[in-house]
Structures are given as structure tokens and as C-alpha cells.
Amino acid sequence: MRRVNVNCPESNDLHPYFDDELDAPRRAAFAEHLAGCPECASELETQKALRAGLQEVAFRYTAPAGLRDRVQSGLQAHTRPGSSKNRVRSWLSAAAVLLVGVGFGAAGTFLGTARKPQPGADLPRDLVAAHVRSLMADHLQDVKSTDRHTVKPWFTGQVDFSPPVKDFTEQGYPLLGGRLDYLDDRPTAALVYGRAKHVINLFVWPTEGDADSPARSLSRRGYNLVHWRQGGLDFWAVSDLNAEELGEFARLNQESP
């Protein structure tokens, strides 16, 4: 478990709480503390995302194609006419070499994968985590405004692209503001919209290709997401809003000039 980087004096109970190591009274007290401490609540969500990522690392390892041939050659070299005891000892030695080789190879593969996560390996999970953090840490907006002519200029100098900022108040999706986030190894524009009592985070960053792509919907951990590409930009809408209304929000964005 990584070190807790928060200043709250109650944070010493965060890891025991996360690992279910506190007794009932302390656990109840810390749960009450979480409700009023955005810093600890945000750190707890980060710990959950980290554990989920580690659990998804693949442990399978495929032995190199030449390993089988090398083991068979070793068996032939060690097998000589003699007692059955010598033949058994030779077979066990070769088997041990095989197991050790596979074991070290699997360990190396696992450690290399764990230390070098691939960008975008599970981007939807990271997007949901960013959405939840913005709600729990009381950091939904860096610029709080319903005026797109206020929100759009704020991103100048914050990111190296100009995110399209649109307002759909008349359609029931009012603009609430924006903030700077960090996803897929780069600074990202996060535009914040509302729908009744729901919050929609629209994450935007430049795409690697020029081709547009239609909207596609998916879900992660109870949250709905819609992704599309348009005008050289990637768009990801994330919310606990139902899939139909989130899809309507995506359609409005795509069709609006």
C-alpha cells in the first residue's frame, strides 16, 4: 500500500479502514469522518482505483517456444544406460530447470507489466475514477460559470488545444464550468454539465488520428460513458445519469456547431 499523502490528522486510520482492520467503534467513527473530509475521501477513492488496477494485471506467462526443445535436449544428454535411480534423478533435474525458468519468466513479465502500465489500458476505469474524485474532493470546477465565453478562454494556457465549449441549457443540460484534469498521460480539459441532480463530466483532449467516429456507449462500476471523436478531438462523457439521457447529451454535442 502506498504512503498516504494527506495532511489530515485522522489519515492514520485510512489504510486500516480500507483493509477492514479497524474494530467496529473506530470503523464507524472513521466512516463518519470520511463524510466530512474531502481529502481523506479522495485518497480512499485513489486507493480503491489502485487496488482495482493491480487486480486486473494479467498473471499468465507463455514459455518461449525453444524452452521445450532445450529441456528435451537436456534430458537426452543426462540419460545414460544405468540404474533407474539415475534416470529419475536426471528427469527431476530437468524438470526443476523447466519450473525455475518458467517461474522467473512469469515473475519478470508480471513485474514489467506492473511497473510499466500501458497508457489507455483501461481508460474507461480511469475516467470513472476521475469523475468520482471530482465529486468527492469538492474539486468539480476550476472555473465556475454558466457562460461558455468565460469557460472557454480559461483553458488558454492550461492545455495545448482549444476545447469546444457549448451550452445546452434550453435542452436541459446547462453548462456549470470546467477544470483541468490529467488522463491518459496528458493534461485534459474537463467540462462540467448538469442534468437535474446529476453531474456530467465531459473530458476532452486531442486524438491521435484525424478520422471522426460515431458515439459508442459503455458502462463501468455503475457509471455510464459515451465516447466519440470529432474535429481531431477525443470526447468522453461520464455520469451516473441513465444511458439514454447521456446518449442524448452526446448527440447534442456532436450536432451542435
pLDDT, tens only, 3-37: 455 678 888 888 888 887 877 778 778 888 887 78
Higher local confidence (pLDDT), 2 or 254: 254
Helices (H), the chain: 14-18, 24-36, 38-55, 65-78, 84-115, 123-136, 148-154, 243-255
Q: For position 176, what pLDDT does the model report?
A: 97
Q: What is the pLDDT of residues 188-220, one digit of tens each?
A: 999 999 999 999 999 999 998 778 999 999 999
Of 52, 50, 32, 53, the C-alpha closest to 41 is 32
Cell of 6: 494527506
Q: What angle do CA 68, 70, 72 make, to 5 degrees?
A: 70
State the pLDDT at residue 61. 47
Q: Domain limits of the chain?
A: 9-55, 65-115, 123-255
The torsion angles phi and psi of 5, rounded to 5 degrees, stand at -105, 60
Q: What is the pLDDT of residues 79-90, one digit of tens each?
A: 555 545 555 455
- Give the pLDDT score at 28: 76
Question: What is the rounded distance in angstroms from the CA atom of residue 64 to the CA atom of residue 2?
Answer: 34
Average pLDDT along the chain: 79
Which residues are registered as beta bridge partners of 190?
179, 203
For residue 60, what pLDDT band results from cuts at 50, 70 and 90? very low
Query: Is pLDDT at 230 greater than 70 in this prediction?
Result: yes
pLDDT at residue number 184: 79
Alpha carbon distances (Å) from 55 to 42, 45, 60, 173, 251: 20, 15, 13, 36, 35
Is the pLDDT reported for residue 100 higher than 80? no
pLDDT tens digits for range 108-151: 444 444 333 344 558 999 999 999 999 986 789 999 999 999 99
Q: Residue 170: how many CA atoms within 13 Å on its side-chain side?
A: 3
> Which of 180-184, 192-196, 243-247 is the least confident region?
180-184
Question: Would you state the pLDDT for residue 103?
Answer: 53
CA atoms within 13 A on the CB side of 242: 3
Instruction: Say if residues 58 and 25 touch (Cβ distance below 8 Å).
Output: no
- Across 62-66, 81-85, 97-101, the highest mean pLDDT is recorded for 62-66
Residues 6+ apart with CB under 8 A from 254: 215, 228, 230
Exposure of 12 in the CB half-sphere (CA atoms within 13 A): 3
What pLDDT shows up at residue 206?
Answer: 94
| Confidence bin at 228 (pLDDT 50/70/90) | very high
Q: What is the reported pLDDT for 153?
A: 96
Report the C-alpha gap between 203 and 205 in whole angstroms.
7
The CATH fold assigned to 123-255 is Phosphorylase Kinase; domain 1 (3.30.200)
Contact 217, 246 (CB under 8 A): yes
Is the per-residue pLDDT at 165 higher than 70? yes
